[in-house]
Amino acid sequence: MSESLPPKSVLALEARTPLTPGIALAVLLHVVVFGAALVLPRLFDRAPPLRKPIIAHMVALGKPRDPHLLPRKELAPPAAAASPMTVPVPSSKPSPAPRKREPTRQELMQRALARATGRAEPREEPDPERAGSAKGTPEGTAATAEEGDAYFTAVHDAILENYVVPSVISERERLYLSASVLAWIGPGGQILKHEFQKKSGNAFFDQALELAIQRTKLPPPPAEIAKSLRDTGVVLNFKP
């Protein structure tokens, strides 16, 4: 005769069950929550897949040139000083202003590229026929913008206007410099405070960024992002 075992109570069963599965389940749930928090925003805001870049070679204004000839100078010849001791004296008779010629579309595109690489004068007239916004930037590529994007474009342009890299920083060092500044913007457009998230390691570069931020006057932000800019701020990533 087999002796039937007394029924085990639920409590007894629980008492003998090790705690590990419960802890594992809790850890798993946390991992899922953390993973979702990290992955889901990227799923909805994912960068487009990498494509082979298309490099546009724009045609310069000029005449066709035999490729076997030596090149012409890329920029206008620099004004040569008469002697190292000479102090330039302004002419008493100002020369008549040259007749203004409307720049071609190619010239405007070249200027925009030159500005993007820091080789051009900071202020140039934009192409009046170009699609975009009155609040846009010459470097921009979109024809329309949400109000918030337009404001960040204005912030970009205003800081860039004051962004000067000291020439005493060697070209070799410029290749590697970068810095991040977190700035909080008040409702009137004033920069309430700023702090370096990452310094460049070059005191003169960091000082130039400080100066650029101090000298920048921003327009008031639109109402829908004003609170965020005041409380959360905006990250400014600088490279020479």
Pick from 155, 151, 154: nearest CA to 191: 155
Is there binding between residue 9 and another protein (CB under 8 A)? Answer: no
6-14, 47-55, 64-72, 98-106 -> range binding another protein (CB under 8 A): 64-72
Distance, in Å, from the CA atom of 24 to the CA atom of 58, rounded to the nearest integer, reads 61
What does each C-alpha distance from 10 to 5, 25, 55, 181, 230 come to in angstroms? 15, 21, 72, 60, 57
Specify the residue, 107 or 177, whose C-beta has the smaller distance to another protein: 177
The answer to whether 238 and 209 have CB atoms below 8 angstroms apart is yes
Distance, in Å, from the CA atom of 157 to the CA atom of 42, rounded to the nearest integer, reads 28
CB contact set of 86 (below 8 Å; sequence gap of 6+): none
Is there binding between residue 239 and another protein (CB under 8 A)? Answer: yes
Specify the residue, 83 or 92, whose C-beta has the smaller distance to another protein: 83
Is there binding between residue 167 and another protein (CB under 8 A)? Answer: yes
Compute the least distance from the CB of residue 51 to another protein, in Å: 20
Distance, in Å, from the CA atom of 233 to the CA atom of 168, rounded to the nearest integer, reads 31
Is there binding between residue 191 and another protein (CB under 8 A)? Answer: no
Is there binding between residue 67 and another protein (CB under 8 A)? Answer: yes
Is there binding between residue 218 and another protein (CB under 8 A)? Answer: no
- Kindly determine how many residues on this chain lie close enough to bind another protein according to the rule CB under 8 A: 59
Is there binding between residue 155 and another protein (CB under 8 A)? Answer: yes
Using CB under 8 A as the binding rule, the residues of this chain from 81 to 120 that contact another protein are: 81-85, 115-118
197's tokens: 């998230």
Distance, in Å, from the CA atom of 109 to the CA atom of 114, rounded to the nearest integer, reads 9
9-17, 47-55, 94-102, 160-168 -> range binding another protein (CB under 8 A): 160-168
236's tokens: 């400014």
Pairing type for strands 234-238 and 179-185 reads antiparallel
Is there binding between residue 213 and another protein (CB under 8 A)? Answer: no
Distance, in Å, from the CA atom of 157 to the CA atom of 144, rounded to the nearest integer, reads 17
71's tokens: 């090149």
Is there binding between residue 141 and another protein (CB under 8 A)? Answer: no
72-80, 90-98, 104-112, 124-132 -> range binding another protein (CB under 8 A): 72-80
Residues near another protein (CB under 8 A) = 33-34, 37-38, 41, 66-75, 77-78, 80-85, 115-118, 122, 152, 155-156, 159-160, 163-170, 173, 182, 204, 207-208, 210-212, 228, 232-240
